[in-house]
Structure 1
């Protein structure tokens, strides 16, 4: 092959690669995805998105959902567990918005087909007390700016026709699958520093166990599975939101991510999540109809 032929082949390869690169979903594509989300039917996969494409698509998707879902009540940090990152072929977290009505109380009954691609996972919420959380750099900084730690079973919906083909930006594009979740009894963050240190250690070292009604254990994880400490998810989120001109507000609920694999619900199933080693944390329960 001559040098001229080699250059021509390289130019053709670049042109082909450029042609298949995805971009932010068009307004029409985002509207179609939102329609599927609201109808609980699988949408076309947003494929080969860059990080910027994923963020742009998420913004369009959320703008379409907001008039139907109501006000934003918080945020979710997703893909904060390396095992879950591996499933979606990425090495970094993503974030989405939580809307009014998404968070139900422990013991709630939910249709097993609550979404187009329904799943459940062991998670945890924290409630923001102070806007200082947006400058948090350590788990202790986060603890000083929250007033509650809340057991939580998240019920995400991966929305698309082929969830295994989603990558990190694709997960961001679908608002990290935010659909529903079930919150347990809150733990109040203690006022004294020594007690806060004990709580920090317990959050890092706790064993999170997922079981079904028969008592059979389905999965387990530990606090440190999320970015070495679950409150590091909030540190990451503060930086990620700041890059887009956003900030957490007092009263916001923040979902920290997965302590367990994503699992499909079954009709008639009762799921319980326990936080062993976290003093005062009551189990959280959801029932699937």
Structure 2
């Protein structure tokens, strides 16, 4: 399947809030490189339409998410200004999405450009600040059923994101034991620690730096990086309130 045809089909599904069968159902030999090629076409179209890339996201960085989605490796997508929802500006507009789900994230704001592979120490030095965050995911594939090339082509299901107040990262290892609670209408529905993200949340930044190097791309300083969901996602239901608590990083509450 030609990448341009896949990008057009995904864009049409997104605009109509429709859904598709996974491309790999009929084209089982599609691969990771094909998925990122389609994602690149999607990014180019969004930029041509006036959107700005403001960051990147890691997906499937926890065992819970990999098991749930049946994809056994982390993935990388991009974030644009049109996806960002600013806290305190009313309820999330549920009508923007077809089958939205919400998940707790750790967000990094970068202090330097990311263009070459980093180790953990250099990843820490590349962080300006860290914050509690939420990501809204919305797959173009029915029932969130996809394989690796499909989810990459669909920009890793990225749909929206919210970032809380930034905090300075003094001790990066404190992120490993960070206790995360996801509450829906004051009831805890998901719990995890920062170790759920590749054993250490900064490893998400390491993975992203390696990806940028392979792609020959640069993520500029000041970008938002979502490190990946700490827990499985939960449906975003109109009328409900979602609260993410992350100890020293604070909390973030959103109404749907």
The reply to whether TM is greater than 0.5 is yes
Contact 1:116/1:160 (<8 A) preserved: no
1:68-105 C-alpha deviation (Å, 9 max, x unpaired):
35111111111111221122222211111100132222
RMSD: 1.8
TM-fit CA distance, 1:231? 0.9
Contact 1:274/1:282 (<8 A) preserved: yes
Q: 1:55 aligns with which of 18, 36, 42?
A: 36
1:240 is aligned to 211
2:126 is aligned to 145
Q: Which moved more, 1:62-71 or 1:226-235?
A: 62-71
1:33 is aligned to 10
2:100 is aligned to 118
Q: Any gaps of 5 or more consecutive residues in structure 1?
A: 1-22, 190-195
TM-fit CA distance, 1:152? 0.4
Cα separation, 1, equivalents of 2:58 and 2:174: 21
1:20 is aligned to none
Q: 1:207 aligns with which of 165, 179, 183?
A: 179
Cα separation, 1, equivalents of 2:191 and 2:95: 24
Contact 1:79/1:85 (<8 A) preserved: yes
Q: SS where residue 120 of structure 1 aligns? A: strand
Contact 1:42/1:160 (<8 A) preserved: yes
TM-fit CA distance, 1:168? 2.2
Contact 2:133/2:163 (<8 A) preserved: yes
Cα separation, 2, equivalents of 1:146 and 1:267: 35
Q: 1:282 aligns with which of 240, 250, 254?
A: 250
1:121-160 C-alpha deviation (Å, 9 max, x unpaired):
001211111126744211x321211111011010111122
Cα separation, 2, equivalents of 1:229 and 1:249: 23
Q: 1:55 to 1:132 in 2, by over 3 A?
A: closer
Q: Does 1:227 align with 2:198?
A: yes
1:18-47 C-alpha deviation (Å, 9 max, x unpaired):
xxxxx4x44233212112213333234222
Aligned length: 251
Q: SS where residue 99 of structure 2 aligns? A: coil
TM-fit CA distance, 1:113? 4.1
Contact 1:184/1:284 (<8 A) preserved: yes
Contact 1:154/1:182 (<8 A) preserved: yes
Q: Any gaps of 5 or more consecutive residues in structure 2?
A: none
TM-score by length of 2: 0.91
TM-score by length of 1: 0.81
Q: 1:96 aligns with which of 77, 82, 101?
A: 77
Q: 1:87 to 1:212 in 2, by over 3 A?
A: closer
Moved over 3 A (4+): 132-135
